[in-house]
Amino acid sequence: MLKRGRNTKFKKFLPFVFVVLGVLFLFLIWAIASWILKSQGNHALPNPIEVLSALFALLFTSSSLKTYLDIGWTLYRLFLSFIFAFIFGLIFGIIAGLFPLFERFFSPFVLLLKTIPTVAVVMLLTGLFTGISYRDFASYIPVILGWVIIFPLIYEAIKKGFQEVNKETKEALTLEGATYKILTVKDVYLPSAAPYMLLSFLQSLGLGLKVIIMAEVLAGSSVGYGLGIAIMVSRDLLEMDELLAYCLIAILLIAITDTLLCLARKALRERFPFLKKNRK
């Protein structure tokens, strides 16, 4: 019994051990690649120790205030994108979930948002607003791009949640003439949509963060602060160790978000078994 308990505990931590081994393996490949390049006179790829030293300097020295401002501004833009995407996603998702014809009418717009290249959106926005208080507007280009990515996720989740209300409930509501009443939406439809909404929220955070950092790089220095701007400035100054250190910060933020997503997804699927059939 004792040995079986130890084996169970070992199996429980085995995935984590392999994740750590995978990370160490990546650092080993990185160190070897850096050594090979430097032996050829190419110093474009610093070794892991140099990058970790730069990371420590960015986070834990007297000059680290700018780093935290960059992180704060990127997260602030993510927050704005998420809030606006949630508001519009909630409104249009409810309407599409209740009225199938509106869903058909609105589907080309959602398809456009899903398929349009993000780089094209940034280029279009910078072109449209060049010369019109561009510096003030540029800071919000990443917010708009984040909204473009996050809105379809939240819209689809809310719409699907409303459509998943079982047929018997819908028929009962129709007989009582309560299908479109506000209390019905609040007490029947929204609880059905809630698990899908929560999953879409978590999925959108990780994806939105990646897109916003990319948009900060593409929008240029007029954006002001942000991890994307810090990466761009480090590239222009050829400070590759600092550039990769900022990349590590972004990776850590995304990894934390993805870890929370995995934990939340597992908890939601245990709480709501019907979500398991929607696993992608």
What's the CATH fold of domain 48-278? MetI-like fold (1.10.3720)
The answer to whether the CB of 84 falls within 8 A of the CB of 142 is no
What is the 3 state secondary structure string of the chain?
Answer: CHHHHHHHHHHHHHHHHHHHHHHHHHHHHHHHHHHHHHHCCCCCCCCHHHHHHHHHHHHHCCCCHHHHHHHHHHHHHHHHHHHHHHHHHHHHHHHHHHCHHHHHHHHHHHHHHHHCCHHHHHHHHHHHHCCCCHHHHHCCHHHHHHHHHHHHHHHHHHHHHHHCCCHHHHHHHHHCCCCCCHHHHHHHHHHHHHHHHHHHHHHHHHHHHHHHHHHHHHHCHHHCCCHHHHHHHHHHCCCHHHHHHHHHHHHHHHHHHHHHHHHHHHHHHHHCHHHHHHCC
133 vs 92 pLDDT, higher one: 92
The pTM of the full predicted model, rounded to 2 decimals, is 0.78
Tens-place pLDDT, residues 107-130: 999 999 989 888 888 778 777 766
Tens-place pLDDT, residues 177-222: 555 555 555 556 666 666 777 777 777 887 888 889 888 888 766 6
- Binned at pLDDT 50, 70 and 90, residue 33 comes out as very high
Q: Quote the pLDDT of residue 205.
A: 80
Q: What is the mean pLDDT of the chain?
A: 79
Q: Which of 123-127, 248-252, 273-277 has the highest mean pLDDT?
A: 248-252
Domain residue ranges in the chain? 1-45, 48-278
